[in-house]
Amino acid sequence: MDIAQQPLPAYYRLKRRLLADIESGHYGVDGRLPTEHALCAAYGLSRTPVARALSELAAEGVVVRHRRRGTFVNPEWMRALRAAPEVSVMTCDQAWEDQLREAAGNDLRLSITSAPLSELRTLFRRAIAEGRGPDLALVDSVWVAEFAESHMLTPIGELDPEWVAAEHDADFLPPFADAYRLDGDGIVAVQAQADVTGLWYRREALDAVGASPPATWRELRALGRTLAAGLPRDRHALVMPGGPAATETATYALVGLLAANGATIFTADAVTLDSPATVETLRFLRRLVDDGVLPAEVVTYDRHRAARLLAAGRADLFVGASYHAELIAAETGTTLPEVGERFGFVPLPAGPHGPPSILCGGMVYCIPRQARNPRLGMRLLRSATAPKRLADLCAETGQLPPRRSVLDAMAPVSPFHAQTAALLEHAVMRPSAPVYALVSAQLQTLLEGVLTRRWSPAAGVALAADRISAITGLPVVRA
């Protein structure tokens, strides 16, 4: 994707790109950077963002600018960086790499291994098996139970009990403060950022029919029918990720809908999926397909397809998550505040047996037992979760800061964060288990099978419950 088309300010993206190139030695110790004109041409930018990116790098001491000679890497800055201790990091994409490099500053030198999120779990387990665990890893929160059961994670309190007591336990929000606290081990992971499920809608579409965002399934179905009336075939009233092609995104949406109807997947003692509330949820989704509100083709969507349809004006409602704000901004060429002006985000409508509900998730930091420099990993973790760092990250991405102090500070100046932060009142955490990845795959298959009519809702739920029982070793409790 071109820098000019990404959701963050163009100067900021360019600054990150140049900083990464400088740290990697691309320009040499005191090498010359391309001219402003060359950077404009290379990245499709006007002179203003290019000049700002270079000015900020100069103000931070990374580069030195000489009139009529050009911009050069500051050799003193580079020598300090190379003298800094090295921390090995594992993460999932360029945006997180950039954030961690900024958190490291000039005090730590990073050796980063990165992989797509779909491959990160396997990469992490392989690194541990081969005896080369990173000093700090950024992983999906639902994998924590699996890694902890295998004794892969270092309790954070062993490394810095004062930080845990004074900052983590005192300031991290309740949905996250205790989510990774294991008996006997204490905290084994720290929330990097938070996201929540909910219902996105196009304000213009609801205004056109004089409707408010739906608060119940009955209201959602009625609104969907109204919006669907007269729509061309390439437009839809409601979309969502609907099957294995969307991977964990489909699970996130389905479990959020189940929570909105008071249904659960499993507890510590039993598989609870096979319940009237679950069957009712799947039956409701299939009615939406029969009504022409939800297209059956959602079972083929990849993890970004539904959000892109909403952004393009080809869907009016979207079952998604708060983290989709960044993608919607990118697709519409707008900023996060402008996304809040054009689109709304509310809790998933309540089913007959549940309150309006949202599901919490996100990425977490953890330090493997095999880390060679665990205290350096902890040092980077502290920096990455510092209030100012979290505020900057969440302002850029639309995700929620897990720290109460940061959320309170952002709410008055960011309407989107004020609105989505209020949803935490209804939040529940995603179900967690050592075999979560296998359970998630079964839920994706269940959703696909019901929407394509391979199974009736009751038969599909019963089959999925039995398979999850076989995976977890827990008995099925049928309500």
CA distances from 92 to 153, 163, 314, 430 (A): 18, 26, 30, 20
Bridge-based pairing of strands 195-202 and 343-346 is: antiparallel
| Burial bucket for residue 241 (CB in 10 Å: 0-12, 13-18, 19+) | buried
User: What pLDDT, in 10s, does the model give residues 156-186?
Assistant: 999 999 999 999 999 998 878 888 988 777 8
Predicted pLDDT at 426: 60
Q: How far, CA to CA in Å, does 258 sit from each of 136, 261, 463?
A: 34, 5, 17
For the chain, which ranges sit under pLDDT 50? 1-7
Q: Which segments of the chain belong to CATH 3.40.190.10? A: 85-188+363-398, 195-355+430-472
pLDDT at res. 192: 93
Task: Determine what percent of the chain is predicted with pLDDT higher than 70.
Answer: 96
- So what's the pLDDT on residue 167? 94
Distance CA 67, CA 226 (A): 63
Q: Which CATH class is domain 85-188+363-398?
A: alpha beta
Domain range 3-79, its CATH number among 1.10.10.10, 3.40.630.30, 3.40.50.1100, 3.40.50.970:
1.10.10.10
**Burial tier of 232 (Cβ tally within 10 Å: 0-12, 13-18, 19+):** exposed
How do residues 392-422 score in pLDDT, each as one tens digit? 888 877 788 899 899 888 888 887 777 777 7
What are the counts of helices (DSSP H) followed by strands (DSSP E) for the chain? Answer: 24, 15
184: its two tokens: 């006997």
Start and end residues for every CATH 1.10.10.10 domain found in the chain:
3-79
**Where does 173-247 have alpha helices with state H?**
174-177, 203-208, 217-228
Beta bridge partners of 140: 363
Alpha carbon separation from 28 to 19, 21, 50 (Å, rounded): 13, 10, 21
Instruction: Please give the pLDDT value at position 2.
Output: 39
Dist. CA 319–CA 362, nearest whole Å: 17
CATH assignment of 195-355+430-472, given 3.10.20.310, 3.30.470.10, 3.40.190.10, 3.40.50.1100? 3.40.190.10
pLDDT at 1: 35
